[in-house]
Structure formats: C-alpha cells, structure tokens
C-alpha cells in the first residue's frame, strides 16, 4: 500500500476524530469580571512565533469557511482578533508539544474571550495535517466532510478567529473558534 495513501487516511481519521461540538447556551449571563490568574500569564499574539505564510494561511482558511457558509445561504462570519488570539495560542501550544491535539482547555479559551465578548454559544474546530501543497484547503475540506465540524461551520455563530501554527517537522495545527454574541 502506498505510504502517501496511508498518511492521508491517518490524517483524515485524525480530523474526523477531532470533531468538537461544545456549545454552551447561556441565558441571562451576568457580565464576566476581569480575572487575573497569577499562575498563567496570557500569551500575546506577538509572543507567538508567526510567519507570514501562516498569516496568509489563516486569511485563506477564513475566506474558505465564509465562502462555504455563503454557498449554504448563511451569513459570513466576522473576524475577531480576541478570538483569533486564543485560537493562535492553542494552535501554537499543540504545534510545540505543550498541549495535545485535543479540545483540552476549550472552556478556558472561551472564558478568556468572554471577558471582552459577551456570548451565547461557542464551538471549536481543530485539524492538523502534513505534506499537502494547500494545508488550509485540506483542513476546510476535512471539516466540511466531518459531521461535527460541519455543524460548527454552518452553526448560528457570527464571530470567529483562526489560529494556525507549524511545527519543526512541518505539521500544521489549525484551531478555529466560533462565537455567537449575546
């Protein structure tokens, strides 16, 4: 069996299994106070190593997701830097091995976002891949073909942020967060 074919099967399975449909519907949520955690210093987007190709890839994935939403007669998502910062931090942690390829910490990411953006619901899509000429397109197609990811892509959300990081072996890690504001 072709090694490249096996690798594609593996990554497709990884994308499928990473589906997350964490939605937290909150009615009449009081405004969240500013929370300072002395044990963990928030990582600013500037402190995360970002190359220009990753920035372009984030823009491309954002455009592809909105193009798909519009093909489904849904309004486009609006980019939000606060959300993108949290997505980028998690993508970078997965890429450098400080976090597993998982939705661990999703609730904390949403809580940080909620300090600036009152929300009704939130969701997260993850992907990782290696060896593709267009890794962003591969991630988006994988999300479209995965029921859980697809549900998030076409869900009732209005804001998004995308973070992508590439590790030293060339694997790309994608994190897209979806937010529905109050």
Instruction: Dump pLDDT digits (tens) for 77-92.
Output: 999 999 999 999 999 9
Distance CA 64, CA 11 (A): 20
For residue 122, pLDDT over 80 is answered with yes
Question: CB within 8 A of 174, min separation 6: which ones?
Answer: 61, 91, 125, 126, 127, 128, 136, 139, 162, 163, 164
CA nearest to 172, candidates 136, 121, 147, 140: 136
Tell me the Cα Rg of the chain. Answer: 16
Confidence of residue 61 (pLDDT cuts 50, 70, 90): very high
Place of tokens 């942020």: 161
For residue 119, pLDDT over 50 is answered with yes
pTM above 0.85, yes or no: no
- CA–chain centroid gap for 102, Å, is 11
Q: Which DSSP helix (H) or strand (E) runs through 79?
A: strand 78-79
């Amino acid at each position: 069996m072709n090694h490249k074919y096996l690798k594609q099967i593996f990554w497709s399975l990884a994308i499928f299994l990473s589906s997350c449909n964490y939605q937290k519907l909150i009615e009449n949520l009081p405004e969240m106070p500013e929370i300072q955690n002395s044990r963990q210093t928030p990582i600013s987007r500037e402190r995360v190593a970002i190359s220009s190709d990753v920035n372009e890839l984030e823009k491309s994935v954002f455009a592809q997701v909105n193009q798909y939403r519009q093909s489904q007669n849904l309004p486009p998502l609006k980019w939000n830097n606060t959300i993108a910062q949290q997505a980028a931090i998690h993508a970078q942690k997965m890429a450098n091995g400080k976090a597993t390829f998982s939705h661990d910490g999703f609730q904390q990411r949403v809580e940080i976002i909620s300090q600036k953006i009152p929300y009704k619901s939130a969701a997260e899509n993850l992907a990782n891949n290696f060896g593709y000429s267009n890794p962003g397109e591969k991630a988006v197609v994988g999300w479209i073909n995965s029921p859980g990811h697809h549900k998030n892509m076409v869900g009732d959300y209005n804001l998004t942020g995308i973070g992508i990081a590439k590790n030293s072996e060339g694997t790309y890690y994608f994190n897209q967060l979806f937010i529905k504001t109050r």
